[in-house]
Amino acid sequence: MYKVLVVDDHDGQRFIVCNMLKEMGLKDVVSVNSATIALSDIHQSSKSLPFDIVICDLQMPYMDGVEFVRALGKCSEAAPALIFMSSFDQKVLQAAERIALAYKIPVLGSIQKPILLPQLKALLEQKRPLIAENTSKVSLNKFSLQQIRAGLKLNQFIPFYQPKINLVSGECIGVEMLARWAHPVYGVLTPDVFSDIFIDDECCSILTKRLIVKSFEDLADLNGEKISLAINLAWSMFKKNDIADYLISQVGTYKINPERVIIEITESEESTDMTIALDTMIRLRLYGFKLALDDFGSGYSNMEVISSLPVNQLKIDKSLIQGVHKNKQKLKVLESVVDLSEKLALKIVAEGIETEAECNIVKCLGVTEGQGYYFSKPRSISSLKKYLEIQDVIFQ
């Protein structure tokens, strides 16, 4: 059962929302009339039973909703999932969502006032996919780089795999490899608590290469030539001349067809400096690897980058997918992205699909590949093999 915090300076609005939550069976509901009190409560609760969801008004005195998000993003505690509410129009609410996502805060969605019970219930039902995969119930602070290095030295980082689905047939056609920390105390941890590793080039390189080797070992055992493997590489990795040689060497060692391997390029502000990175990318393409521009639409994309990089695919960022069925502006943007990819002859993959409605929309737009919690959560290799066994029975 979720623990929910309602933040609104209007007594009547808080009363209505709290009653709706209790009507839905949620008993652990706290309400406060200011964002400053909310921040204090979130900090205090993180030491015992943290809040799972915060429902927050945008227009409040002293500290408004945007200032609250900014402060929450700077806290060391793991942030609860947010739902925004406001009498302002959808464009303002959507902008607030993007700000929260930029601070790595999970967002369930937003509601225009007056709030209706079915709307609130629909958003709360999205909480399930956003629950952390941690086996521990404790809200974790970010680990220090020193702690991360210790875990790296003890070889505690492992690959998990999220299936990629053919949206027409429903068949699993590939997986994306995702980093996880098999912590001896806290269980399997997601990157939000060890993200500092990605800003340390040396640690990031060590982790990436180890996960490449382990995922190639796993891929060699999976369904012959049927399953593809997507691997995320930070932009900094493309500036190292050895990464192409390393990948080419490892596919040879594990006898993997390079065409089964998709290298996903993570967008960043550095993506405009392409001179050195192009060397690596072109060599990978020449050896048969596929290249995909990851998180397309998340903020750094520009036409020069798309037209200059030798990519085969665009992966649409989940921020453009989630809630697209109830957001006309987002739908128009998504339609434009699909149209652009077709004109550039790029395969398009939709990530972050969490509901049937989202899946139906992207299918109607002609997108044929997707991934997200609607199909499957990220899985360990043993869980993935069981998943693929079931797929084999269905599609044999």
pLDDT tens track for 31-54: 999 999 999 999 888 777 888 899
pLDDT at 225: 64
CA 125 → CA 78, 105, 118, distances in Å? 20, 18, 11
Q: In what order do the strands lie in the sheet with 29-32?
A: 29-32, 4-7, 53-57, 81-86, 107-112
pLDDT at 334: 93
Which positions ≥6 away from 133 have C-beta within 8 Å? 180, 188, 189, 190, 377, 378
Res. 139 pLDDT band, cuts 50 70 90: very low
pLDDT tens track for 229-243: 999 998 888 877 789
pLDDT tens track for 173-225: 999 999 999 988 788 999 988 988 988 889 999 999 999 999 999 998 875 66
Res. 94: pLDDT tops 60: yes
Q: Given CA atoms 76, 80, 86, 90 in this order, what sign does their dihedral have?
A: positive
Q: What percent of the chain has pLDDT over 70?
A: 90
Chain centroid offset of residue 385 CA = 23
pLDDT at 138: 38
Which positions ≥6 away from 293 have C-beta within 8 Å? 264, 265, 267, 301, 305, 306, 309, 311, 313, 314, 315
pLDDT at 137: 37
The answer to whether 4-130 and 145-395 have equal CATH topology is no
Burial of 363 by CB count in 10 Å (0-12 exposed, 13-18 middle, 19+ buried)?
middle
pLDDT at 123: 87
- Give the pLDDT mean for 276-280: 83
How many CB atoms are closer than 10 A to CB 132? Answer: 17
Instruction: Count Cα atoms within 13 angstroms, Cβ side, for 290.
Output: 20
Res. 131: pLDDT tops 50: no
Using CA atoms, how far apart are residues 46 and 50, in angstroms rounded to an integer? 4
Res. 4: pLDDT tops 90: yes
Closest by Cα among 15, 51, 40, 33 to 127 = 51
- Give the pLDDT mean for 143-153: 91
Res. 264: pLDDT tops 90: yes
Helix (H, G, I), strand (E, B) or coil at 316: strand
pLDDT at 98: 87
pLDDT tens track for 315-338: 998 888 988 888 888 899 999 999
Fold of the CATH domain 145-395: TIM Barrel (3.20.20)
User: Where are the chain's structural domains?
Assistant: 4-130, 145-395
In the numeric block, the tokens 């959560």 are attached to 377
Query: What residues are paired with 179 via a beta bridge?
Result: 159
CATH class of 4-130: alpha beta
Using CA atoms, how far apart are residues 16 and 23, in angstroms rounded to an integer? 11
